[in-house]
Protein backbone atom coordinates (compact mmCIF):
# COMPACT_ATOMS: atom_id res chain seq x y z
CA UNK A 1 0.00 0.00 0.00
CA UNK A 2 1.17 3.50 -0.73
CA UNK A 3 0.93 6.77 1.14
CA UNK A 4 -2.48 7.60 -0.34
CA UNK A 5 -4.03 4.55 1.27
CA UNK A 6 -2.24 5.25 4.54
CA UNK A 7 -3.72 8.75 4.61
CA UNK A 8 -7.23 7.40 4.06
CA UNK A 9 -6.84 4.77 6.77
CA UNK A 10 -5.32 7.32 9.14
CA UNK A 11 -7.80 10.16 8.66
CA UNK A 12 -8.41 10.17 12.44
CA UNK A 13 -4.68 10.27 13.03
CA UNK A 14 -3.19 12.61 10.43
CA UNK A 15 -6.12 14.95 9.72
CA UNK A 16 -8.35 14.94 12.76
CA UNK A 17 -5.25 15.20 14.93
CA UNK A 18 -5.44 18.91 14.21
CA UNK A 19 -9.09 19.21 15.17
CA UNK A 20 -9.95 21.04 18.36
CA UNK A 21 -13.06 19.00 19.04
CA UNK A 22 -12.90 16.30 21.71
CA UNK A 23 -14.85 13.07 21.85
CA UNK A 24 -18.31 13.45 23.31
CA UNK A 25 -18.56 12.45 26.95
CA UNK A 26 -14.80 12.09 27.39
CA UNK A 27 -12.81 14.04 29.95
CA UNK A 28 -10.06 16.10 28.36
CA UNK A 29 -6.62 14.49 28.54
CA UNK A 30 -3.28 16.23 28.14
CA UNK A 31 -3.57 19.81 26.94
CA UNK A 32 -4.14 21.49 23.59
CA UNK A 33 -5.43 19.47 20.64
CA UNK A 34 -1.97 18.44 19.50
CA UNK A 35 -1.65 15.40 17.24
CA UNK A 36 1.36 13.68 18.78
CA UNK A 37 2.96 11.20 16.39
CA UNK A 38 6.16 9.90 17.97
CA UNK A 39 7.93 9.96 21.35
CA UNK A 40 11.51 8.99 22.21
CA UNK A 41 13.72 9.21 25.29
CA UNK A 42 16.70 11.49 24.70
CA UNK A 43 19.37 11.55 27.39
CA UNK A 44 17.36 12.71 30.38
CA UNK A 45 14.01 13.66 28.87
CA UNK A 46 11.17 12.54 26.65
CA UNK A 47 10.70 14.38 23.35
CA UNK A 48 7.60 14.10 21.16
CA UNK A 49 6.92 15.26 17.60
CA UNK A 50 3.55 16.56 16.47
CA UNK A 51 1.41 16.75 13.32
CA UNK A 52 1.56 20.55 13.21
CA UNK A 53 5.31 20.86 13.76
CA UNK A 54 5.26 21.38 17.53
CA UNK A 55 7.87 19.65 19.69
CA UNK A 56 7.14 18.64 23.28
CA UNK A 57 9.55 17.92 26.13
CA UNK A 58 9.03 16.20 29.50
CA UNK A 59 11.27 14.84 32.24
CA UNK A 60 8.67 12.50 33.70
CA UNK A 61 6.09 11.87 30.96
CA UNK A 62 3.43 13.76 32.94
CA UNK A 63 4.29 17.46 32.68
CA UNK A 64 5.05 18.55 29.12
CA UNK A 65 6.10 21.87 27.58
CA UNK A 66 5.53 22.60 23.89
CA UNK A 67 7.34 24.83 21.39
CA UNK A 68 6.48 25.52 17.76
CA UNK A 69 9.03 24.80 15.06
CA UNK A 70 8.92 26.43 11.66
CA UNK A 71 7.66 25.35 9.20
CA UNK A 72 4.59 23.62 10.59
CA UNK A 73 5.28 20.17 9.17
CA UNK A 74 4.32 16.82 10.70
CA UNK A 75 7.24 15.35 12.67
CA UNK A 76 7.17 11.60 13.19
CA UNK A 77 10.86 10.60 12.89
CA UNK A 78 13.09 11.43 15.89
CA UNK A 79 16.54 10.26 16.97
CA UNK A 80 19.11 11.06 19.69
CA UNK A 81 22.87 10.60 19.16
CA UNK A 82 23.89 11.22 22.80
CA UNK A 83 24.59 14.93 22.14
CA UNK A 84 21.75 16.20 19.93
CA UNK A 85 18.22 15.53 18.80
CA UNK A 86 17.34 15.14 15.16
CA UNK A 87 13.84 15.22 13.68
CA UNK A 88 12.50 14.81 10.15
CA UNK A 89 9.40 16.73 9.06
CA UNK A 90 7.52 16.20 5.84
CA UNK A 91 4.77 17.30 3.57
CA UNK A 92 3.45 20.81 3.86
CA UNK A 93 6.11 22.86 2.04
CA UNK A 94 6.97 20.36 -0.69
CA UNK A 95 10.33 19.47 0.88
CA UNK A 96 11.43 17.49 3.90
CA UNK A 97 12.97 19.44 6.75
CA UNK A 98 15.67 18.37 9.20
CA UNK A 99 15.32 19.85 12.69
CA UNK A 100 18.24 19.80 15.14
CA UNK A 101 18.35 20.59 18.86
CA UNK A 102 20.44 19.92 21.94
CA UNK A 103 17.63 20.38 24.46
CA UNK A 104 14.35 19.80 22.59
CA UNK A 105 13.32 23.43 23.03
CA UNK A 106 15.44 25.46 20.59
CA UNK A 107 15.51 24.00 17.08
CA UNK A 108 17.54 24.76 13.95
CA UNK A 109 16.17 23.77 10.55
CA UNK A 110 17.60 22.65 7.23
CA UNK A 111 15.61 21.70 4.13
CA UNK A 112 16.27 18.63 2.02
CA UNK A 113 15.77 18.47 -1.73
CA UNK A 114 13.41 15.56 -1.40
CA UNK A 115 9.83 14.87 -0.47
CA UNK A 116 8.95 11.63 1.31
CA UNK A 117 7.20 10.81 4.53
CA UNK A 118 9.71 9.33 6.95
CA UNK A 119 8.09 7.54 9.85
CA UNK A 120 10.98 6.65 12.16
CA UNK A 121 14.70 7.25 12.63
CA UNK A 122 17.48 5.78 14.79
CA UNK A 123 21.11 6.57 15.55
CA UNK A 124 23.30 3.49 15.10
CA UNK A 125 26.34 4.92 16.84
CA UNK A 126 27.81 6.26 13.62
CA UNK A 127 24.85 7.04 11.36
CA UNK A 128 21.28 8.31 11.28
CA UNK A 129 18.93 5.89 9.52
CA UNK A 130 15.32 6.78 8.66
CA UNK A 131 12.60 4.72 6.97
CA UNK A 132 9.34 5.70 5.33
CA UNK A 133 7.07 5.59 2.31
CA UNK A 134 7.82 3.73 -0.92
CA UNK A 135 10.38 1.60 0.93
CA UNK A 136 12.69 4.60 1.30
CA UNK A 137 15.69 4.34 3.65
CA UNK A 138 17.50 7.64 4.21
CA UNK A 139 21.05 7.75 5.60
CA UNK A 140 23.37 10.42 7.02
CA UNK A 141 26.65 10.35 8.90
CA UNK A 142 26.59 14.03 9.84
CA UNK A 143 22.93 15.18 9.68
CA UNK A 144 23.86 17.43 6.74
CA UNK A 145 24.52 15.12 3.79
CA UNK A 146 21.78 12.56 3.15
CA UNK A 147 21.41 9.76 0.62
CA UNK A 148 19.05 6.87 -0.10
CA UNK A 149 20.15 3.33 0.63
CA UNK A 150 19.97 0.56 -1.94
CA UNK A 151 16.32 -0.54 -2.23
CA UNK A 152 15.58 -3.68 -0.24
CA UNK A 153 13.34 -6.68 -0.98
CA UNK A 154 10.24 -4.83 0.23
CA UNK A 155 10.23 -2.65 -2.89
CA UNK A 156 7.85 0.27 -2.44
CA UNK A 157 6.19 -1.07 0.72
CA UNK A 158 5.45 1.54 3.39
CA UNK A 159 8.05 1.11 6.17
CA UNK A 160 6.70 2.25 9.52
CA UNK A 161 9.16 1.58 12.35
CA UNK A 162 12.80 0.85 13.18
CA UNK A 163 14.65 -0.79 16.05
CA UNK A 164 18.36 -1.24 16.74
CA UNK A 165 19.56 -4.22 18.76
CA UNK A 166 23.12 -5.53 19.06
CA UNK A 167 24.22 -3.64 15.96
CA UNK A 168 21.41 -4.98 13.78
CA UNK A 169 18.70 -2.73 12.35
CA UNK A 170 15.19 -4.12 12.10
CA UNK A 171 12.42 -2.44 10.09
CA UNK A 172 8.77 -3.37 9.67
CA UNK A 173 6.07 -2.18 7.32
CA UNK A 174 2.83 -2.74 5.52
CA UNK A 175 2.32 -5.95 3.60
CA UNK A 176 3.83 -7.96 6.47
CA UNK A 177 7.41 -6.93 5.67
CA UNK A 178 10.17 -7.49 8.23
CA UNK A 179 13.63 -6.33 7.13
CA UNK A 180 17.08 -6.30 8.71
CA UNK A 181 20.44 -4.66 8.02
CA UNK A 182 23.88 -5.40 9.45
CA UNK A 183 25.75 -2.58 7.69
CA UNK A 184 24.20 0.58 9.14
CA UNK A 185 21.30 0.57 6.70
CA UNK A 186 23.27 0.41 3.45
CA UNK A 187 21.71 -2.90 2.38
CA UNK A 188 18.69 -4.86 3.57
CA UNK A 189 17.42 -8.41 3.57
CA UNK A 190 14.28 -9.84 5.05
CA UNK A 191 11.01 -11.60 4.57
CA UNK A 192 7.31 -11.13 4.11
CA UNK A 193 4.85 -12.78 6.46
CA UNK A 194 2.63 -15.46 4.96
CA UNK A 195 -0.36 -13.15 5.45
CA UNK A 196 0.61 -10.27 3.18
CA UNK A 197 -2.38 -8.19 4.29
CA UNK A 198 -0.76 -7.58 7.69
CA UNK A 199 -0.02 -3.91 8.38
CA UNK A 200 2.86 -3.76 10.85
CA UNK A 201 3.31 -0.45 12.70
CA UNK A 202 5.83 -1.03 15.48
CA UNK A 203 8.79 -3.23 16.42
CA UNK A 204 11.09 -3.56 19.43
CA UNK A 205 13.55 -6.08 20.85
CA UNK A 206 14.68 -6.73 24.41
CA UNK A 207 17.87 -8.42 23.24
CA UNK A 208 16.49 -11.94 23.19
CA UNK A 209 12.96 -11.57 21.83
CA UNK A 210 11.54 -9.23 19.19
CA UNK A 211 7.93 -8.10 19.09
CA UNK A 212 6.16 -6.55 16.08
CA UNK A 213 2.66 -5.06 16.35
CA UNK A 214 0.12 -3.75 13.88
CA UNK A 215 -3.43 -3.23 12.68
CA UNK A 216 -6.27 -5.40 14.01
CA UNK A 217 -4.30 -6.09 17.19
CA UNK A 218 -1.78 -8.38 15.50
CA UNK A 219 1.40 -9.27 17.38
CA UNK A 220 4.23 -11.37 15.97
CA UNK A 221 7.22 -12.52 18.02
CA UNK A 222 10.62 -13.96 17.10
CA UNK A 223 13.61 -15.20 19.07
CA UNK A 224 16.00 -15.25 16.13
CA UNK A 225 14.70 -12.55 13.76
CA UNK A 226 13.98 -15.16 11.09
CA UNK A 227 11.14 -17.29 12.41
CA UNK A 228 7.99 -15.44 13.45
CA UNK A 229 4.80 -16.61 15.10
CA UNK A 230 1.59 -14.78 15.85
CA UNK A 231 0.36 -14.54 19.44
CA UNK A 232 -2.96 -13.41 20.86
CA UNK A 233 -2.89 -9.76 21.93
CA UNK A 234 -6.37 -9.86 23.45
CA UNK A 235 -7.51 -6.89 21.37
CA UNK A 236 -8.70 -6.14 17.85
CA UNK A 237 -7.77 -2.47 18.13
CA UNK A 238 -5.04 -1.22 15.79
CA UNK A 239 -1.69 -1.22 17.61
CA UNK A 240 0.58 1.65 16.52
CA UNK A 241 3.59 1.51 18.83
CA UNK A 242 5.53 -0.81 21.11
CA UNK A 243 8.42 -0.36 23.56
CA UNK A 244 10.49 -2.42 25.99
CA UNK A 245 11.44 -1.11 29.41
CA UNK A 246 12.04 -2.37 32.92
CA UNK A 247 10.89 -5.95 32.56
CA UNK A 248 8.08 -5.72 30.03
CA UNK A 249 6.81 -4.86 26.59
CA UNK A 250 4.11 -2.20 26.29
CA UNK A 251 2.01 -1.67 23.14
CA UNK A 252 -0.44 1.17 22.44
CA UNK A 253 -3.09 1.96 19.86
CA UNK A 254 -6.64 2.96 18.97
CA UNK A 255 -9.39 3.59 21.55
CA UNK A 256 -6.83 4.30 24.27
CA UNK A 257 -5.49 0.77 24.12
CA UNK A 258 -2.50 -0.07 26.33
CA UNK A 259 -1.43 -3.69 26.72
CA UNK A 260 1.63 -5.14 28.45
CA UNK A 261 3.58 -8.38 28.55
CA UNK A 262 6.67 -9.57 30.41
CA UNK A 263 7.44 -12.27 27.84
CA UNK A 264 5.90 -10.96 24.60
CA UNK A 265 3.62 -13.98 24.48
CA UNK A 266 0.94 -13.29 27.07
CA UNK A 267 -0.65 -9.84 27.05
CA UNK A 268 -2.84 -8.02 29.56
CA UNK A 269 -4.79 -4.76 29.14
CA UNK A 270 -4.29 -1.62 31.21
CA UNK A 271 -6.88 1.11 31.78
CA UNK A 272 -5.53 4.23 30.07
CA UNK A 273 -8.33 6.58 31.10
CA UNK A 274 -8.89 7.74 27.52
CA UNK A 275 -10.43 6.55 24.24
CA UNK A 276 -8.12 8.64 22.12
CA UNK A 277 -5.75 7.17 19.58
CA UNK A 278 -2.40 6.43 21.26
CA UNK A 279 0.34 6.57 18.66
CA UNK A 280 3.69 5.99 20.35
CA UNK A 281 5.35 4.81 23.57
CA UNK A 282 8.91 5.15 24.90
CA UNK A 283 10.80 4.08 28.04
CA UNK A 284 13.07 6.28 30.16
CA UNK A 285 13.65 7.54 33.71
CA UNK A 286 12.02 4.41 35.08
CA UNK A 287 8.70 4.83 33.29
CA UNK A 288 6.86 4.64 30.00
CA UNK A 289 5.62 7.78 28.27
CA UNK A 290 2.66 7.39 25.91
CA UNK A 291 1.47 10.06 23.46
CA UNK A 292 -1.38 10.33 21.01
CA UNK A 293 -4.18 12.23 19.36
CA UNK A 294 -5.67 15.44 20.78
CA UNK A 295 -2.86 16.03 23.25
CA UNK A 296 -3.06 12.64 24.94
CA UNK A 297 -0.04 12.20 27.22
CA UNK A 298 0.17 9.36 29.72
CA UNK A 299 2.92 8.26 32.11
CA UNK A 300 3.15 4.71 33.37
CA UNK A 301 5.65 3.32 35.87
CA UNK A 302 6.23 -0.44 36.01
CA UNK A 303 3.88 -1.91 38.57
CA UNK A 304 1.83 1.27 38.68
CA UNK A 305 -1.20 2.56 36.82
CA UNK A 306 -1.24 4.91 33.81
CA UNK A 307 -1.43 8.56 34.87
CA UNK A 308 -2.77 11.24 32.54
CA UNK A 309 -0.40 14.15 32.02
CA UNK A 310 -0.72 17.80 31.04
CA UNK A 311 0.78 20.02 28.35
CA UNK A 312 1.89 23.63 28.80
CA UNK A 313 1.28 25.14 25.37
CA UNK A 314 2.15 28.70 26.32
CA UNK A 315 4.93 28.89 23.73
CA UNK A 316 2.78 27.82 20.77
- The CATH H-level (homologous superfamily) assignment of domain 3-315 is YVTN repeat-like/Quinoprotein amine dehydrogenase (2.130.10.10)
* Nearest CA among 215, 185, 241, 261 for reference residue 10: 215
Residue 22 has pLDDT above 90, yes or no: no
The β-bridge relationship of strands 310-315 and 63-68 is parallel
Q: Domain limits of the chain?
A: 3-315
pLDDT band at 93 (very low <50, low <70, confident <90, very high): low
Q: Write the CB contacts of 69 (distance below 8 Å, at least 6 apart in sequence).
A: 53, 54, 55, 75, 89, 99, 107, 109
**Mean of pLDDT values over 43-69:** 94
In this structure, what DSSP letter does residue 199 have? B
* Nearest CA among 35, 31, 30 for reference residue 15: 35
Alpha-carbon gap, residue 46 to 142, rounded angstroms: 23
Residue 36 has pLDDT above 80, yes or no: yes
Residue 30 has pLDDT above 60, yes or no: no
The DSSP H or E segment spanning 5 is helix 3-9
Residue 244 has pLDDT above 60, yes or no: yes
CB atoms < 10 A from the CB of 42, how many? Answer: 23
pLDDT band at 45 (very low <50, low <70, confident <90, very high): very high
Q: Give the pLDDT confidence score for residue 3 in this predicted structure.
A: 40
pLDDT band at 73 (very low <50, low <70, confident <90, very high): confident
pLDDT in tens, 197-240: 999 999 999 999 999 999 999 999 999 989 999 999 999 999 99
pLDDT band at 266 (very low <50, low <70, confident <90, very high): very high
**Mean of pLDDT values over 76-85:** 96
Amino acid sequence: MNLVWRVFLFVPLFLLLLSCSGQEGEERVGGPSLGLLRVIFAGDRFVAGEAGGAMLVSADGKAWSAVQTSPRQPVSALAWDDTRLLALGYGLVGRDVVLESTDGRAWRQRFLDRYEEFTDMVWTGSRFVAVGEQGAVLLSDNAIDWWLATPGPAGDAFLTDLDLQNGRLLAVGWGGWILNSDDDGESWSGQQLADQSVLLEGVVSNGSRTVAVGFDGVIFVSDDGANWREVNSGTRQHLLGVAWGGDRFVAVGFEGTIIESTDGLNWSPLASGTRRILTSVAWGNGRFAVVGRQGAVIAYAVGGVPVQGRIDAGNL
